[in-house]
């Protein structure tokens, strides 16, 4: 007892010290804040903060930690004001490392505020985090989890991952919840590192604490957004959860303004709408609960509107149901008509969304929409325009575009301008009623959009002009309008026009000025030269103007020569070159004719894509000892290799010099593509060097990556002699129309008329046609499909699919967990798994099968019936009792006996038949052998086996139909299965039908799973070949794996373990590095480079197939975990 007192007494002075420290804290900070608020100018503030920082710098060097907390808070304050306090970063980390709980807290907070994920100092924190995660003090673990979810270096994720997984089963719910969110964060920054714990996410979803379940929804929202198909089986669970939440089954704590867990509802509704999208059967599951939500959400608080809004969105997203749609439409009406401005905004948003499905709804609210159009709120106006944009058609386009332009003129927000101007341009292109309107509108777009415009707006416009439509006459008229309009613009004051507009104008004038015969070409030249003299014109625009001049200067050399002369001494090299060319061309009319043939169709231009005319020059240079050309990425690579300190986990210490062979190897395909990509435009283009970016688009692509691109439609009519194109009379008419026509004045008309003009074409009958806006009225200017576009978009997107396909657990477990946790009144029997009636035998079979796997992994002895169990070749011994004695392998056909094979496992059985399967590994396929044994004494007739697997391809099958099977005998049928796309696991299902008595058919269904490991074959290559192959592969993945450290040579042991599990070919092991190769059957190779990195195995995988490395990595992880 006295001991305790003594201790307390001795601790008192320290306590007192810290108190005074704390008192100083506030006073110092207060001093700082006070002086800052008293300041009047930014300058004073700066000097004060500088002073403060320097005093802090002094203080941090003294070892008094009680001050440290206070300094951190001051540093946070300075950083928040935008001053650099980076010298405190290291102290923040120190504080988190060494301090007591309080200091730690401030330290962690400071770290999460100061540092970002890539900051190098963060590495110093990793150990502290690890220590705290393991700490018995809940608060410490809690803080560590918080910091992990905020900032954590990506490379270090494997280190904390197991600890986080442990935390998922921590007794305290807040810890579990934070762990789930931290894992979600990891998933966001490094998806393939957490793919093996998807099953644990499911467990979190079934957590008995609703809070943990809620946080797991973050993950599911993300996962389902990425691949809704993989999670359809969870729909039932989500619906059940939502039902319980809506029904008020959650504790009252979760209520917010008497609404049960509104945020949770919102999240669930979003998930459901993703799942039900374009999926009728899934949608049907959720109709009831959506209806319920709509009904329950009484209009009494903001947050119920939030739920309603999500409900409405979900109803319109999923497969439609008339009754619900009606209710939702009424809801939207309530929103739109609400006096609350926030709700009105959401109403407009909902309308915008809905109008794509049901344009009539907009009609109902047209008066409100008109009101919103004149609303003082900028956001509301914008949203209204967005809505109008969606309902635009050929009839109302002029009014809507006018409204949009009105808005744009009064708008100063850059971002809005960019966004909206693009939309105006899109509408103008799609629905323009006539040429003059189109050109006028585009002029408006260019002058208001200015230089903020996205590059593709002018590009598209020029392309449209250049390529034209089918009718040459119309094209020329449009061009003529453009020329006329630009001449008028240029005659006025052009100094304020944006550069982009000037560029467009000069290009059009250069190309098409000759179409306008009534205007002297000299006049055009004069106008353009005037532009050149203007100071506000940028040098890029000057290049455009000059190239336009070059095009129209033919025969007018007298006007040009001076100009060319003066510009040929310009500072700008591109401009100088252009001027030189102009001078040359103007002196040599023959050359001019050849380089710039007037009106020649682009197709006829020949492009030497291989630049063969340079061959002589190149070979000469090479002979003279020049270095061969290397493409930029190659140079980059070599530069990296040259660096003295290579911190990359991979460095090539292989004995062969790889770089030399790779150059030649690479050069042929890549170089060609680079050069052809650059010169994939006409010779004409090369004349306009310097201004290439824009014109690239204006010119038809004739040469693409793969060589000559065939035009898959009628070629554009060549720009012919002007006389043929434009009749004099038409020309006059054009000139008349050029006069700015009085716009149909809508301002004076009342709103009703505006409404009728805005919503024209949205009438009852036409709502269908609006579903696909593009198909309704044929767009006036039809764009030609860009031939090179198709190739670019196809390559992505395959990789994501496969990563998630592995971990599906049963929906039935989820359900039962939920019943257990949320629905106490549910009969107890339903808690036990598998008592649910299966939705379909397939789903159930799959689910059960997975469960079996899981159970086994968890070493529980609960093994279910005769379900199939997966046995992997050689890796781990299966203790499953239904393992069939290996003498069945003796039954294999003679020609297959020599192949490597897995153990025989029993699939299923009934009183008369028992099925088992065995996998045989052939080089080019997996042979799935199904052994059918007759357990009875009698003969079984007409045995037929049917096997289906969506992901795999069946190359051949044998013995799947038998006329009779003798008593106590066994027959064999085998399937050769091919895997084209890597999947981590694939499941197959099948049925056997047979007759024990004539006319009485029995069926026996079976299912099972195959893993990608079954399809991986060794790739036997030499080290040299490996090196060559390595450089040619593009998709790579890096990750640290567990190293089996129990043996004397850990690398070799680990690689051998992997080799046994996955049939890899170990190419070479040198020191602490090893290279391994394999392939997917006889298809895509995958190269693995392994390096011992401390206690981990740094694995670097490369493959031409984006999904294969992930897949193999997954199996490597599993194999090592099993070992």
Q: Within positions 45 to 74, which residues make up the interface with other proteins, using CB under 8 A?
A: 72-73
Interhelix angle 499-512/521-533, rounded to 10 degrees, is 160
**Closer residue to other proteins in complex, CB, 262/845:** 262
What are the backbone angles phi and psi of residue 415, rounded to the nearest 5°?
-60, -45
Candidate segments 19-27, 430-438, 509-517, 589-597, binder of other proteins by CB under 8 A: 19-27
Q: Which of 93, 109, 399, 699 binds other proteins (CB under 8 A)?
A: 109
- Which residues have a Cβ under 8 Å from the Cβ of 6 and sit 6 or more positions away? none
382 forms part of the interface with other proteins (CB under 8 A): yes
Task: Report the C-alpha gap between 164 and 282 in whole angstroms.
Answer: 34
900 forms part of the interface with other proteins (CB under 8 A): no
- Residue 38 burial (CB count, 10 A): 9
Q: Within positions 138 to 157, which residues make up the interface with other proteins, using CB under 8 A?
A: 139, 146, 149-150
Closest contact distance (angstroms) between CB of 82 and other proteins is 4
CA angle (883 as vertex; 880, 884 as ends), nearest 5:
170
Q: Within positions 466 to 495, which residues make up the interface with other proteins, using CB under 8 A?
A: none
80 forms part of the interface with other proteins (CB under 8 A): yes
Closest contact distance (angstroms) between CB of 971 and other proteins is 55
Q: Within positions 31 to 50, which residues make up the interface with other proteins, using CB under 8 A?
A: 33-34, 37-38
Q: Within positions 869 to 888, which residues make up the interface with other proteins, using CB under 8 A?
A: none
> Are 1060 and 1116 in contact, with CB atoms under 8 Å apart?
no
> Are 516 and 480 in contact, with CB atoms under 8 Å apart?
yes
Q: Which of 309, 486, 703, 1030 binds other proteins (CB under 8 A)?
A: 309
Candidate segments 116-124, 499-507, 648-656, 881-889, binder of other proteins by CB under 8 A: 116-124
Closest contact distance (angstroms) between CB of 397 and other proteins is 22
Q: Within positions 506 to 525, which residues make up the interface with other proteins, using CB under 8 A?
A: none
In angstroms, the Cα distances linking 688 to 468, 544, 546, 582, 681 are: 21, 8, 9, 11, 11
**Closer residue to other proteins in complex, CB, 182/388:** 182
Task: Report the C-alpha gap between 443 and 170 in whole angstroms.
Answer: 65
Q: Which residues pair with 620 in a beta bridge?
A: none
Q: Which of 46, 79, 572, 1068 binds other proteins (CB under 8 A)?
A: 79
Closest contact distance (angstroms) between CB of 305 and other proteins is 6
The distance between the two most distant Cα atoms of the chain, rounded to a whole number of Å, is 117
Task: Report the C-alpha gap between 146 and 32 in whole angstroms.
Answer: 29
Pairing mode of beta strands 985-997, 1016-1018: unpaired
Candidate segments 106-114, 237-245, 523-531, 869-877, binder of other proteins by CB under 8 A: 106-114
Task: Report the C-alpha gap between 1093 and 647 in whole angstroms.
Answer: 12
Q: Within positions 409 to 438, which residues make up the interface with other proteins, using CB under 8 A?
A: 413-416, 419
The 172-191 site mask, x for binding other proteins (CB under 8 A), equals: --x--xx--xx-xx------
What is the DSSP-derived secondary structure letter of residue 277? B
811 forms part of the interface with other proteins (CB under 8 A): no
76 forms part of the interface with other proteins (CB under 8 A): yes
**Closer residue to other proteins in complex, CB, 311/992:** 311
Closest contact distance (angstroms) between CB of 365 and other proteins is 17
> Are 868 and 907 in contact, with CB atoms under 8 Å apart?
yes
> Are 808 and 229 in contact, with CB atoms under 8 Å apart?
no
Candidate segments 155-163, 255-263, 654-662, 917-925, binder of other proteins by CB under 8 A: 255-263
Closest contact distance (angstroms) between CB of 18 and other proteins is 7
- Residue 956 burial (CB count, 10 A): 11
Closest contact distance (angstroms) between CB of 1092 and other proteins is 32
The kind and range of the H/E element at 1080 are strand 1073-1080
249 forms part of the interface with other proteins (CB under 8 A): no
Q: Within positions 195 to 234, which residues make up the interface with other proteins, using CB under 8 A?
A: 211, 215, 218, 221, 225
Task: Report the C-alpha gap between 591 and 800 in whole angstroms.
Answer: 55
Could you list the beta-strand ranges (E) of 998-1060.
1000-1011, 1016-1018, 1035-1042
Closest contact distance (angstroms) between CB of 785 and other proteins is 27
**Closer residue to other proteins in complex, CB, 307/945:** 307
Closest contact distance (angstroms) between CB of 174 and other proteins is 7
Candidate segments 22-30, 901-909, 910-918, 1037-1045, binder of other proteins by CB under 8 A: 22-30
Q: Which of 256, 594, 617, 708 binds other proteins (CB under 8 A)?
A: 256
Closest contact distance (angstroms) between CB of 1002 and other proteins is 51
Please compute, for residue 646, the number of CA atoms within 13 A of its CA located in the half-sphere on the CB side.
13
Closest contact distance (angstroms) between CB of 316 and other proteins is 16
> Which of 1019, 785, 1002 is CA-nearest to residue 909?
1002
- Residue 963 burial (CB count, 10 A): 8
In angstroms, the Cα distances linking 829 to 816, 824, 847, 849 are: 10, 12, 19, 21
In angstroms, the Cα distances linking 31 to 49, 51, 78 are: 12, 13, 13
Q: Within positions 561 to 590, which residues make up the interface with other proteins, using CB under 8 A?
A: none
Q: Within positions 335 to 354, which residues make up the interface with other proteins, using CB under 8 A?
A: 341-342, 344-346
Rg (CA), the chain: 37
Q: Within positions 261 to 290, which residues make up the interface with other proteins, using CB under 8 A?
A: 262-263, 266, 270
Residues in the chain: 1123
Candidate segments 46-54, 299-307, 541-549, 826-834, binder of other proteins by CB under 8 A: 299-307
**Closer residue to other proteins in complex, CB, 9/894:** 9
What is the DSSP-derived secondary structure letter of residue 901? B
Candidate segments 127-135, 305-313, 808-816, 823-831, binder of other proteins by CB under 8 A: 305-313
**Closer residue to other proteins in complex, CB, 72/400:** 72
Closest contact distance (angstroms) between CB of 354 and other proteins is 17
Closest contact distance (angstroms) between CB of 236 and other proteins is 23
> Which of 672, 491, 511 is CA-nearest to residue 599?
511
Closest contact distance (angstroms) between CB of 1062 and other proteins is 35
**Closer residue to other proteins in complex, CB, 29/159:** 29
Q: Which residues pair with 977 in a beta bridge?
A: 926, 954
> Which of 1087, 919, 931, 923 is CA-nearest to residue 1009?
919
> Are 284 and 318 in contact, with CB atoms under 8 Å apart?
no
Closest contact distance (angstroms) between CB of 144 and other proteins is 13
End-to-end CA distance of the chain: 54
Q: How many residues bind other proteins (CB under 8 A)?
A: 76
**Closer residue to other proteins in complex, CB, 150/557:** 150
For 127: left if phi > 0, alpha if psi spans -120 to 50, otherwise beta; the answer is: alpha
Q: Which of 378, 594, 617, 876 binds other proteins (CB under 8 A)?
A: 378
Q: Which of 7, 30, 635, 783 binds other proteins (CB under 8 A)?
A: 30
> Are 1033 and 1104 in contact, with CB atoms under 8 Å apart?
yes
Closest contact distance (angstroms) between CB of 45 and other proteins is 10
Closest contact distance (angstroms) between CB of 349 and other proteins is 8
**Closer residue to other proteins in complex, CB, 49/1108:** 49
* Three-state secondary structure of 920-978: EECCCCEEEEEEEEECCCCCEEEEEEEEECCCCEEEEEECCEEEEECCCCEEEEEEEEE
Buried b (16+ CB within 10 A) or exposed e, 897-929: eeeebbbbbbbbbeebbbbbbbbbbeeebbbbb
120 forms part of the interface with other proteins (CB under 8 A): no
Q: Within positions 723 to 742, which residues make up the interface with other proteins, using CB under 8 A?
A: none
Closest contact distance (angstroms) between CB of 240 and other proteins is 22
């Amino acid at each position: 007892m006295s001991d305790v007192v003594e201790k307390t007494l001795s601790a008192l002075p320290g306590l007192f010290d810290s108190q005074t420290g704390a008192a100083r804290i506030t006073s110092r900070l207060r001093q700082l804040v006070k002086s800052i608020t008293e300041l009047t100018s930014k300058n004073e503030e700066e000097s004060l903060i500088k002073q403060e920082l320097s005093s802090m710098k002094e203080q941090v060097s003294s070892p008094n930690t009680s001050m440290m907390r206070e300094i951190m808070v001051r540093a946070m304050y300075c950083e928040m004001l935008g001053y650099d306090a980076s010298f405190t970063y290291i102290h923040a980390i120190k504080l988190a490392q060494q301090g007591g709980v309080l200091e730690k807290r401030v330290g962690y907070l400071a770290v999460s505020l100061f540092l970002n994920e890539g900051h190098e100092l963060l590495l110093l924190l990793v150990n502290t985090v690890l220590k705290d995660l393991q700490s018995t003090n809940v608060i410490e673990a809690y803080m560590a989890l918080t910091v992990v979810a905020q900032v954590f270096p990506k490379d270090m994720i494997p280190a904390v991952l197991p600890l986080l997984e442990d935390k998922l089963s921590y007794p305290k719910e807040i810890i579990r919840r934070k762990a789930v969110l931290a894992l979600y964060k990891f998933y966001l920054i490094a998806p393939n590192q957490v793919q093996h714990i998807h099953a644990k996410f499911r467990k979190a979803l079934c957590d008995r604490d609703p809070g943990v379940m809620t946080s797991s929804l973050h993950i599911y929202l993300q996962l389902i957004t990425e691949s809704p198909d993989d999670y359809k089986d969870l729909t039932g669970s989500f619906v059940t959860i939502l039902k319980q939440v809506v029904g008020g089954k959650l504790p009252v704590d979760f209520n917010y303004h008497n609404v049960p867990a509104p945020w949770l509802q919102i999240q669930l509704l979003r998930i459901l709408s993703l799942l039900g999208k374009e999926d009728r059967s899934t949608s049907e599951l959720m109709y009831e609960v959506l209806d319920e939500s709509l009904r329950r959400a009484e209009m009494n608080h903001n947050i119920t509107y939030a739920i309603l809004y999500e409900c409405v969105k979900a109803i319109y997203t999923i497969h439609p149901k008339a009754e619900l749609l009606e209710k939702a439409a009424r809801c939207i009406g309530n929103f739109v008509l609400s006096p609350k401005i926030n709700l009105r905004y959401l109403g407009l948003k909902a309308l915008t969304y809905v109008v794509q499905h049901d344009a009539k709804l907009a009609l109902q609210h047209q008066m409100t929409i008109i009101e919103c159009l004149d609303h003082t709120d900028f956001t509301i106006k914008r949203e209204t325009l967005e809505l109008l944009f969606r309902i635009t058609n050929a009839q109302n386009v002029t009014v809507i575009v006018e409204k949009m332009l009105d808005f744009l003129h009064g708008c100063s927000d850059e971002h809005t301008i960019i966004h909206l101007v693009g939309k105006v341009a899109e509408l103008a292109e799609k629905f323009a009623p006539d040429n003059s309107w189109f050109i006028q509108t585009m002029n408006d777009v260019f002058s208001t959009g200015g230089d903020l415009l996205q590059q593709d707006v002018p590009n598209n416009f020029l392309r449209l002009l250049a390529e034209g439509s089918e009718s040459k006459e119309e094209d020329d008229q449009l061009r003529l309008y453009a020329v006329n309009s630009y001449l008028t613009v240029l005659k006025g004051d052009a100094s304020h026009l944006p550069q982009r507009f000037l560029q467009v104008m000069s290009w059009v004038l250069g190309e098409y000025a000759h179409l306008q015969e009534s205007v002297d070409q000299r006049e055009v030249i004069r106008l353009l030269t005037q532009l050149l003299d203007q100071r506000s014109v940028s040098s890029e625009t000057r290049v455009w103007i000059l190239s336009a001049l070059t095009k129209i200067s033919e025969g007018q050399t007298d006007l040009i020569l001076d100009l060319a002369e003066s510009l040929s001494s310009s500072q700008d090299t591109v401009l100088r070159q252009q001027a030189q060319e102009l001078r040359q061309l103007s002196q040599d009319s023959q050359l001019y004719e050849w380089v710039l043939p007037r009106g020649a169709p682009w197709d006829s231009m020949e492009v030497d894509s291989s630049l063969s005319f340079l061959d002589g020059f190149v070979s000469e240079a090479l002979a003279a000892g020049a270095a061969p050309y290397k493409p930029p990425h190659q140079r980059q690579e070599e530069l990296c290799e040259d660096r003295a300190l290579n911190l990359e986990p991979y460095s090539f210490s292989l004995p062969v010099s790889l770089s030399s062979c790779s150059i030649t190897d690479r050069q042929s395909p890549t170089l060609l593509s680079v050069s052809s990509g650059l010169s994939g435009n006409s010779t004409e283009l090369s004349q306009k060097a310097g201004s290439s970016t824009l014109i690239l688009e204006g010119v038809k692509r004739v040469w693409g990556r793969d060589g000559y691109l065939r035009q898959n439609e009628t070629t554009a009519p060549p720009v012919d002699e002007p006389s043929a194109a434009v009749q004099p009379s038409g020309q006059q008419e054009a000139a008349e129309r050029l006069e700015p026509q009085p716009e149909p004045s809508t301002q004076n008309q009342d709103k009703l008329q505006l409404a009728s003009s805005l919503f024209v074409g949205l009438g009852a009958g036409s709502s269908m046609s609006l579903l696909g806006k593009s198909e309704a009225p044929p767009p006036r200017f039809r764009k030609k499909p860009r031939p090179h576009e198709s190739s670019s978009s196809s390559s992505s997107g395959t990789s994501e699919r496969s990563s998630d396909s592995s971990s599906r657990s049963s929906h039935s477990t989820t359900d039962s967990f939920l019943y257990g946790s949320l629905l106490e009144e549910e009969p107890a029997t339903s808690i036990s798994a598998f008592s649910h009636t299966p939705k379909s035998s397939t789903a159930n079979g799959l689910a059960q099968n997975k469960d079996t796997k899981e159970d086994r992994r968890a070493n529980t002895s609960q093994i279910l019936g005769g379900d199939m169990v997966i046995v992997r070749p050689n890796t781990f011994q299966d203790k499953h009792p239904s393992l069939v004695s290996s003498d069945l392998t003796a039954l294999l056909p003679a020609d297959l006996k020599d192949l490597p094979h897995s153990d025989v496992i029993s699939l299923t059985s009934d009183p008369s038949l028992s099925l088992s399967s065995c996998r045989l590994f052939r080089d080019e396929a997996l042979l799935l052998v199904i052994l059918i044994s007759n357990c009875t004494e009698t003969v079984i007739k007409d045995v037929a086996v049917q096997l289906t697997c969506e992901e795999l391809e069946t190359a051949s099958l044998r013995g799947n139909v038998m006329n009779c099977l003798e008593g106590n005998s066994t027959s064999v049928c085998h399937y050769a299965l091919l895997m084209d796309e890597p999947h981590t696991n694939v499941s197959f299902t099948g049925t056997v039908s047979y007759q024990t008595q004539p006319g009485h058919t029995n069926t026996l269904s079976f299912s099972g799973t195959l893993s990608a490991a079954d399809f991986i074959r060794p790739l036997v290559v030499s080290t040299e070949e490996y090196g060559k192959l390595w450089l040619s592969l593009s998709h790579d993945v890096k990750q640290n794996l567990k190293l089996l450290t129990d043996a004397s040579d850990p690398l070799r042991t680990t690689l051998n373990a992997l080799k046994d599990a996955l049939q890899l070919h170990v190419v070479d092991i040198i020191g602490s590095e090893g290279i391994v190769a394999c392939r997917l059957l006889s298809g895509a190779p995958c190269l693995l480079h392994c390096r011992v990195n401390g206690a981990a195995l740094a694995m670097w995988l490369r493959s031409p197939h984006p999904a294969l490395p992930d897949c193999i990595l997954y199996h490597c992880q599993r194999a090592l975990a099993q070992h």
